[in-house]
Amino acid sequence: MRRLAIKWDQVVIDADGRVTGHDAGATLVRRLVNLTHNPIVIGPATRRCDGFDQMPLEFVDTDSVVVINMDVLDSTKIWRVLREHGEHPAVMNFQWAPTTSYTDRVPQLIEALSFGLFPTFANSERTASAVREVVRRWTVQDVAEKAKVGWSNLGFRVEHVLPRRDTDLPVVLYPAIYLSERKRPKLFVDVVEKVHRKAPIRVAMRLHESHLVSELAMTLSGREWFWVGPLTATRLSYWEALAATTAFLATAEEESYGLEYVEAMAAGVIGILPDTTWARALVPEGYPFFWKTPAEAEALLARAVTETDACRAELDAIGGGDFTGWMASKHSDDDFEQAMLARLQEWFA
């Protein structure tokens, strides 16, 4: 198979040659880098890094490299650059977030054509279905019928899960790093405030630095029972924090997969989830903690922090006796890596 190059414009590589950051994009770049031997990360300069080469797109050997593109709107541009330097450009879209809902017609069509022109690997079955729908809606039948789309759940590194630790107060996690409207943070705050009136809890919000300075974050940080701070410094500290978390309340309207929820539930955190298609795809049949109204979310979260052991027993009952084990087997990142490598071999052998 060809050598792999990963292209994501927001990647940051430090002076030691390591991909920095703990957001989803940076984490995925690190995972893609580990897929094969001697990969490339597209960047502004040429240098040897920790396990990969960084180089500008113009320096990539067109006929021996596959570019995995995490910025789908750029795929046609990438193809044109590669074509200037070789006969057989190979570009694969990696759709790792929800398909976009642009109000401008131009990016809508560019995205659809990108999906139609280049093989696309999606981070979940739901995202793959959305990709197919975008191509079908915005392109001609011949393009839609020939579109190549594969998928696998992203999953997580199972061995990262740590033993649970007791805390003086139940800890409720805001399961996102952004306070964007799609995540509905104000609904989260409304619900946890009502639960706090009934039972003592502590809320943890670990936010991307760009959202730490928002008005909402600054307001919440002034409350004694709210902890608002930066992302954990290392993956170890991230899993240590999950091991000491009691429950989370998910309020997002839409997710393409939901990796943070999956990791938390695999670590034993009780997930209070919206009754949506994307959330049901994460858990076993009969999952007992779905909410349809804010009042239901409040009641379920209150149970999770006051009857924690009983709630975990319910989860084990619908998870074959071991709910966290079910999550680990269903969402192992080994499946993702094997599926992506198989598709790369199929599409670019």
With a cut of 70, which residues of the chain have pLDDT below it?
A: 101
pLDDT per position as a tens digit, 287-311: 999 999 999 999 999 999 999 999 9
Judge contact between 305 and 128, C-beta under 8 A. Answer: no
The pLDDT of residue 105: 86
pTM of the model: 0.85
Token digits for 193? 């405030």
Same domain, 120 and 188: no
Q: Dihedral sign for Cα 341, 282, 269, 323, please.
A: negative
Question: The domain that contains 291 carries what CATH number?
Answer: 3.40.50.2000
The pLDDT of residue 101: 67
22-28 LR contacts (CB < 8 Å, sep 24+): 22/231, 22/232, 22/235, 22/238, 23/177, 23/208, 23/231, 24/96, 24/97, 24/259, 25/70, 25/96, 28/70, 28/94, 28/96, 28/154
pLDDT per position as a tens digit, 215-273: 999 999 999 999 999 988 788 899 999 999 999 999 999 898 999 999 999 999 999 99
Same domain, 60 and 132: yes
What gap in Å lies between CA 339 and CA 326, rounded to an integer? 20
Same domain, 178 and 283: yes
Q: Among 16, 4, 27, which Cα is nearest to 208's?
A: 27
The pLDDT of residue 232: 85
Same domain, 93 and 228: no
Same domain, 242 and 325: yes
The pLDDT of residue 104: 84
Judge contact between 268 and 247, C-beta under 8 A. Answer: no
What gap in Å lies between CA 306 and CA 225, rounded to an integer? 17
**φ, ψ for residue 67 (rounded to 5)?**
-95, 115
Same domain, 126 and 184: no
- Residue range(s) defining the domain that contains residue 79: 3-155+333-348
Map tokens 């029972």 to a residue.
225
Q: Is 286 left (phi over 0), alpha (psi -120 to 50) or beta?
A: left
Task: Tally the domains of the chain.
Answer: 2
Same domain, 215 and 316: yes
Token digits for 290? 């779905």
